[in-house]
Structure formats: structure tokens, C-alpha cells
Structure 1
């Protein structure tokens, strides 16, 4: 299913759903950040996805990371909460979501890096390499908040 992200775009379709989702900043021992090239948009992004009934949001973050990357992770922190109504995501099936994402920090505890059908590539990138990647504004914002290293999560 194709996906189009809009940010502060007056021509964006109006949202018709609000779905809770998690994203995850996974960092390796060298301080590089794991990103994936999304199959649905072609943009690079953090692993993550929609929370299922019966699971907590940290459980969702762990599950989505394993499904999308093959890595087992442990949640160790919180980057922030992202609910900006100016960010909407339109899917080819007609769903248009208003953003509702909680971004976590995780460390690797096992698994093997393996792409899923949701990504065309995976890689650990240094902070200096991240600006070169095609990436939606909201993904860059989460990474910027993580890299700033503040002692308080982003609330927005």
C-alpha cells in the first residue's frame, strides 16, 4: 500500500483516523542509528508502526523493530511524543491519519539485521550521514531531538 506524508500542507487531505504508533531510535555500540528505506514511500525512516490491541506501546516498539529489522531490542529511553496535527499520512486505501507517535530509544539485545517486506534497505548511519538521506521532516525532527541529548523528552 502506498503512503504519502504531508506536513503543514494546505492541499493535504483531511484526516479520517487517529492511530497510536511507536518509532524507535536503535543505536549500535559505535553510536550509529538504525534506519530503513521504506518500501511504501522510498524515504528513510526509523523502525516503527501501529500498536495492536492487547499490547503496550513499548511492546509495540519492540515488536515492530523485530518485524522490520530482525533485531531484538530493549527500550531504554524516550525521545518524545509527536502529535502535531499538521502531519497527516495518506494511504492508497483512503485512510488519512493524523500523526500520533511515541518515539523510544532502544539498545540491541539480539537478532540479526534482516530487511522485511516493509523496507528495501537497512543500515546503521552516523549522525553525519543522516542529513544526506531522503527523509520526511518528522523523522528528522525525532532524530534531531535524540541527537540533542536533552534530559527531557519532546512533548508535542
Structure 2
């Protein structure tokens, strides 16, 4: 399903939905970050997705990373909460969501797990050097999460 992201855009359509979701900043033992290239909007991003009934939110995070990248992870902390009503996502089925996302820190359970795209939501999945992140096409709201996740000075999760 195609998606258009709006951020602080007065032309954004009216919000008609809020869906809890997660993103996951997974770093390997070399410090690389696990990123996906999304089919729906063409951006690079942290793996993640919507929370399903019957799951804990951390189960959602583990499931989404596994589905989108093939990598099994262990959640190690919270990067922050992201609920900015200025970030609106419009889907081609008419749903217009307000951002409501928790971003987690994680590590791979098995360092030998090689990322692979799922071909449905992700066209690529790979370990990326933090120094290479700046050159990638990443939506501003996702770039903020990544910056928070990579900031070694950040001691408290982002709340907002």
C-alpha cells in the first residue's frame, strides 16, 4: 500500500486514525545500524510497524524486525516516544494516521543472522555504518529517531 508522509505541512489531509507502532534501532557488535529500504515510500528507515492485538509492544518490535529483515533481536532499551501530530501519514486506502510510535534499542540474538528484505514491505535490509546514514534518503521524522538512537550522550529516552 502506497504512503505519503507529511511533516508540519498545512496541506496534509485531516487525521482519521491513530495506530500504535514501533521502530527498532538495532546495532551489531561492530556498531552498525540495521536499516531497511521501504517499498511503500522509497525511504530508508528503521524496521518497524503496527502493534497487533494480543502482543506486548516489545513482542511487536521483535516480530517486525524479524519479518522485515530476517534478523531476530533482543530489546535492550527505549530510544523514545514519537507522537507528533504534525507528522501525518496518508495511505492510498484513505487512512490518514497521526504518528504514534515507540522506538526501541535492540541487539541481534545471533550475530551471524544476515539481513534480507522481505520483498513485500522492504526492498533492501542491511547493516549500515553510522557515518553513512547522512547520505541516505530518510524521512525527517525517522532521521530524528536514528539521531537519538546513535547519540551516546542521550541518557533519557526522548518523550514527545
* TM-score clears 0.5: yes
CA gap 1:140/1:63 in 2 versus in 1, 3 angstroms = same
Tell me the C-alpha RMSD between the 2 structures: 0.8
Aligned with residue 115 of structure 2, among 105, 110, 113: 113
Name structure 2 gaps, 5 residues minimum: none
1:154 equivalenced with 2:158 (yes/no): yes
How do residues 7-156 of structure 1 correspond to structure 2 at under 5 angstroms?
7-110=7-110, 111-116=113-118, 117-149=120-152, 150-156=154-160
**Aligned partners of 1:122, 1:89: CA distance in 2, in Å?**
22
**Aligned partners of 1:131, 1:112: CA distance in 2, in Å?**
23
Could you tell me whether the CA contact under 8 Å between 2:72 and 2:109 is conserved in 1?
yes
**Aligned partners of 1:112, 1:30: CA distance in 2, in Å?**
14
Runs of 4+ in 1 over 4 A off after TM superposition: none
Name structure 1 gaps, 5 residues minimum: none
**Aligned partners of 2:32, 2:137: CA distance in 1, in Å?**
17
**Aligned partners of 2:116, 2:131: CA distance in 1, in Å?**
24
Offset at residue 112 of structure 1 (A)? 3.7
**Aligned partners of 1:73, 1:106: CA distance in 2, in Å?**
6
TM-score (norm 1): 0.98
Count, aligned residues: 156
Between structures 1 and 2, the one with greater strand share: 1
